[in-house]
Amino acid sequence: MSTAPHIDIDVAAFWNDPYPTLAALRKEAPIAYVPQLGSTLLCRRDDISVSEKQIDVFSSDQPNGLMTRLMGYNMMRKDGAAHSVERNAFFPAVSPRTVKNHWSLQFQAHADRLIDTLPSSVTMDFIADFALPFSAECLKSVTGLTKMRYQDMNAWSQAMIDGIANYVGDPKVEARCHEATAGIDAAIDDMLPSLEADDKSLLGVMVASGMPMDGVRANIKLAISGGQNEPRKALAGTLWALLTHPEQLDLVRAGAVSYLQAFEEFARWISPIGMSPRRIARPWTIRDVDFEPDDRAFLMFGSGNRDEQYFAGADRFDIRRDASKSIAFGAGPHFCAGAWVSRAMIANIALPTVLARLPNLRVVTDAPVEIGGWAFRGLLNLPLAWDAVLPRA
């Protein structure tokens, strides 16, 4: 293990709210070994940003890592040419042009259809009744797995997220993850015979590229693991943040600040992806901490996004701030390939549509909002009420 100072944490408290612990680490031990997590945590933005680009040291290639063992050998767990080949095959389905010209119309249709089904003047859990099915229906379109149920998309994504964050080795969590990946393999097999020429989905472009099927399967699972939960959490979280900061919502409604800027600030403030693991590939020293080959390091994105050296009042949600230094989508060669999809789904489609069609949308104050997670973090519920459902524009 590294020579970083050993810092013990309360895992349950860390899951409930990691930010006080991360703030203390940034101040007292910005690189720290946490025995409860079996890893060395990098907590300052500069260390994370620089280290993520040093793939010869902080390697994503983790043959024995949880993601590789449970989901297959995908591009997130590859570096250099091996990563680039698969990313280039993946990219045509999620490029800014494809998102704008192809997926955005489908995203809008999903949003409008789901809102059409909502009753007027009742309380709902926004996550269960809109964010979850919206994210899943969009992901069904993008992956090409259009025959599956949105409920399965959500459940299988959560099972994989739980599996790859299962650092305590709970066998039940691992079993659920295996069930999910088997379900996804079956859904892929169901779609392969119906693929058409110039299919713009992830399944279509990767098969057309000649990628071996084990790579196709692994990268579809990667897309589902991050493409369902994180947009769902970011959508619900951004809406909640705006509704509980009405003066900032007024700025967005007036066009003084964009929906995209609000989304980017929320992703900085409560990073849906709180960390990314790395394997140390060769001896290395940073901040007087020595690493040996095969040490495990966690790049703590959620901590870097609250680094006081970059973000004044970092614990506050403020859409007026410059969030351009946020690393919510990562940095370097592993910058999130689905970033443009998420931005379109949330900032271009879902937020403006929901706020336009559900007048007097408000948080129900007698049902507390719960937030949890540290590797993957977000709202667990969002009780809302509104006065009517307006027709489509």
pLDDT digits (tens, 9 = 90+) for 313-330: 999 999 999 999 999 998
Best CA proximity match to 63, nearest among 284, 218, 212, 267: 218
pLDDT of residue 202: 97
**What's the full length of the chain, in residues?**
393
Please count the CA atoms within 13 angstroms of the CA of 98 that sit on its side-chain side. 19
Q: What is the pLDDT of residue 157?
A: 93
* Domain range annotation of the chain: 11-385
Contact 165, 372 (CB under 8 A): no
Please report, as a single letter, which amino acid is at residue 326. S
pLDDT at 229 over 90: no
Measure the CA–CA gap between 238 and 221, rounded to whole angstroms: 26
pLDDT at position 226 = 84
Name the more confident of 242 and 197. Answer: 242
Q: Is the pLDDT of residue 1 over 90?
A: no
pLDDT average, residue stretch 120-139: 92
Residue 216 · residue 170 · CB < 8 Å? no
Q: Is the pLDDT of residue 56 over 90?
A: yes
Percent of the chain, pLDDT > 90? 86
Task: Name the band, by pLDDT with cuts 50, 70 and 90, for residue 393.
Answer: confident
Other C-beta atoms within 10 Å of 329: how many? 21
With a cut of 80, say whether residue 72 has pLDDT above it: yes
Instruction: Give the pLDDT of residue 119.
Output: 85
Taking the C-alpha atoms of residue 295 and residue 40, their distance in angstroms, rounded to an integer, is 8
| Mean pLDDT across the chain | 94
Q: pLDDT digits over 260-306, tens only? A: 999 999 999 999 999 999 999 999 999 999 999 999 999 999 999 99
Mean per-residue pLDDT, 23-47: 97
The reported pLDDT for the residue numbered 165 is 82
Whether the per-residue pLDDT at 387 is higher than 90: the answer is yes
Tokens 């099915």 appear where? 133
Give dist(CA 364, CA 345) in Å, integer: 25
The string of pLDDT tens digits covering residues 328-380 is 998 778 788 889 999 999 999 999 999 999 999 999 988 899 999 999 899 99
**Nearest residue to 236 (alpha-carbon basis) of 135, 314, 109:** 135
Contact of 283 with 290, CB cutoff 8 Å = yes
What residues contact residue 343 under an 8 Å CB cut-off, 6+ apart? 260, 263
Residue 163: both structure tokens together: 């599996």
pLDDT of residue 85: 95
Give me the pLDDT at residue 91, please: 95
Give the CATH number of domain 11-385: 1.10.630.10
**Rounded to an integer, what distance in angstroms lies between the CA atom of residue 23 and that of residue 10?**
15
Query: CA of 170: how far to CAs of 16, 98, 165, in Å?
Result: 19, 40, 10
Q: Is-above-0.75 flag for pTM?
A: yes
